[in-house]
Amino acid sequence: MRLGVLDVGSNTVHLLVVDAHPGARPLPAHSHKAELRLAQLLDESGAIDSVGVDKLIAVVQEALEAAEDKGVEDLLPFATSAVREASNADDVLARVRAETGVELQVLTGAEEARLTFLAARRWFGWSAGKLLVLDIGGGSLEIAYGIDEEPDAAASLPLGAGRLTAGWLPNDPADPGDIRALRRHVRAQIARTVGEFSRFGAPDHVVATSKTFRQLARIAGAARSADGLYVQRELKRRSLEDWVPRLAAMTTAERAELPGVSEGRANQLLAGAIVAAGAMDLFGVETLEICPWALREGVILRTLDQMATP
């Protein structure tokens, strides 16, 4: 059957269409995305402003039309931290439902972490042993650890690249004092969670998902996305730490010229690198592997599992 996953994230609204059935890997058939940056459209009260809601409704409608054109039989719509944490979330969800007919399921941070972990576990398999999974989104950082398909520990921290850029790095290029303050904030937040994970012992394999980690791996020398899903891509902490001061010295336009860095994400790359470096350091990770599957695939896999259950 043909499934569509509509992911209303902090940076983008992304429709992923796949051909899938229980027991088989989902095969991508179509991708439709729009840069919305909801995390940066919050007003002083923490609400998504009326312009932002209008834009969200418009892109959801576009995604619905694309899903119909591609023959999607079942649509799985969900929203993450930007909607979840908006002070007017209920009103936003009601307007989307009234004007598009789409009932967005708002995932908790822990659900995001668990579903992303499921996707990584299915990608790497049981032979990967105990997995530590890191994911940097626009609004939050998800961390999950475990040996089964359900993680033993999962956490979501408000350390997304978009959120931190908007709140801590207003200048272009970034002010050195702002960078130091952000680095202290990020490491203090992550350090509070390390004990929750370390009691389970060292992981056998550390993986990362998300556009931020893929871009950081690419500028550090990993293979291009055009080389395919099955090429192994790694990010080493030493390489990342070398890149952080270089990114800090660049303007957004200069970062956009780096290999694999999109113009729309270039302004967030420094904040994302600071979070990635902090997480790798505090969790004692020297090298991690990039996982092509993430939250959207986790949603698909969980849905297929439920369909296969009598």
State both tokens at 22.
Answer: 């229980």
Rounded to whole angstroms, how far apart are CA atoms 42 and 82? 9
Q: Is residue 306 part of a domain?
A: no
Cα angle for residues 284, 288, 289 (degrees, 5° grid): 165
Residue where one domain finishes, among candidates 76, 106, 136: 106
Q: Is residue 302 part of a domain?
A: no
State whether 148 and 84 are in the same domain: no
State whether 143 and 96 are in the same domain: no
User: Residue 56 maps to which CATH number?
Assistant: 3.30.420.40
State whether 116 and 84 are in the same domain: no
Residue where one domain finishes, among candidates 56, 89, 106: 106
Look at residue 309 in the predicted model and tell me its pLDDT.
66
Look at residue 23 in the predicted model and tell me its pLDDT.
84
Look at residue 42 in the predicted model and tell me its pLDDT.
78
Q: Is residue 136 part of a domain?
A: yes
Q: Which of 219, 254, 239 is CA-nearest to residue 288?
A: 239
Q: Is residue 245 part of a domain?
A: yes
State whether 53 and 193 are in the same domain: no
Q: Is residue 310 part of a domain?
A: no
State whether 114 and 187 are in the same domain: yes
The pTM assigned to this predicted structure is 0.95
Q: Which domain holds residue 197?
A: 109-295
Q: Which of 9, 107, 2 is CA-nearest to residue 59?
A: 9
State whether 56 and 92 are in the same domain: yes
Q: Which of 137, 136, 138, 112 is CA-nearest to residue 37?
A: 138
Average pLDDT value for residue range 224-251: 96
Q: Would you call 256 helix, strand, or coil by DSSP?
A: coil
State whether 170 and 277 are in the same domain: yes
Q: Which of 128, 137, 129, 178 is CA-nearest to residue 158?
A: 137
pLDDT at 122 over 80: yes
State whether 36 and 182 are in the same domain: no
User: Which pLDDT tens digit goes with each residue over 58-77?
Assistant: 999 999 999 999 999 999 99
Q: Structural domain tally of the chain?
A: 2
Q: Is residue 259 part of a domain?
A: yes
pLDDT at 16 over 80: yes
State both tokens at 102.
Answer: 């789409």
Portion of the chain with pLDDT greater than 90, in percent? 88
State whether 123 and 192 are in the same domain: yes
pLDDT at 289 over 90: yes
Q: Is residue 308 part of a domain?
A: no
pLDDT band at residue 310 under the 50/70/90 scheme: low
Q: Is residue 307 part of a domain?
A: no
Residue where one domain finishes, among candidates 106, 123, 139: 106
State whether 144 and 84 are in the same domain: no
State whether 155 and 271 are in the same domain: yes
User: Residue 242 maps to which CATH number?
Assistant: 3.30.420.150
Average pLDDT, the chain: 95
pLDDT band at residue 191 under the 50/70/90 scheme: very high
Rounded to whole angstroms, how far apart are CA atoms 98 and 57? 10
State whether 147 and 37 are in the same domain: no
